[in-house]
Amino acid sequence: MASTADFRNGMVIEFNNDLYSIVSFQHVKPGKGPAFVRTKLRNIKTGRVIDNTFSSGTKVNLARVERRPCQYLYKDDIGYYFMHLETFEQIHVEEAVIDSPEFLLEGQHVEVVVHADTETVLSVELPQFVVLEVVYSERGLKGDTATNAYKQAKMENGSTIMVPLFINIGDKIRIDTRNRTYMDRVKS
């Protein structure tokens, strides 16, 4: 059990029979009335963010959540398979709990977030940036760079993103996995 005085960003609590992560919180002491804590909570399973106000001193149940370093192995019809880097145990994960499954590459290191009490996989978090090679892209027209023009490019893992016109086949690019956008070209 913890009280509202113990709130920290990223803390996972049990609320409304579900697990929520605290995105932000603010202690408020109005001129009249009792103090309260205004929070933004993200549902671990759905990703939906809600606002909630707790009275100051309210007790909440903390959820034990572990972040386990894993390596992506392969995908089949049932789901994705990861290997825990310390115990070498294989973990089966459904696609719905993976943040950006289209950017997974075999051998890539990720963090698997597990509810420690039930051993349930809550989410799979990819690194913030991944480097992928462009395997197909239309050629940009010369002189067509007056505006911020983009074209589609197919990556080595099959995903497709929008890239600037100067990107060619064989280029390695850095992609932000949070918003699925092109960041920059990586020099080999």
The whole-number pLDDT of residue 41 equals 93
145 has pLDDT over 70: no
Q: Can you name the residues that pair with 12 across neighbouring β-strands?
A: 21
The whole-number pLDDT of residue 123 equals 84
143 has pLDDT over 70: no
Please give the C-alpha separations between residue 178 and each of 62, 127, 141, 185, in angstroms, as whole numbers.
27, 9, 30, 18
Report how many domains make up the chain: 3
pLDDT 10s digits, 107-121: 999 999 898 888 888
Range of the domain at 156: 130-186
CATH number at residue 74: 2.40.50.140
Q: Which band of pLDDT confidence, cut at 50, 70 and 90, is reported for residue 141? A: low
User: At 188, which amino acid appears?
Assistant: S
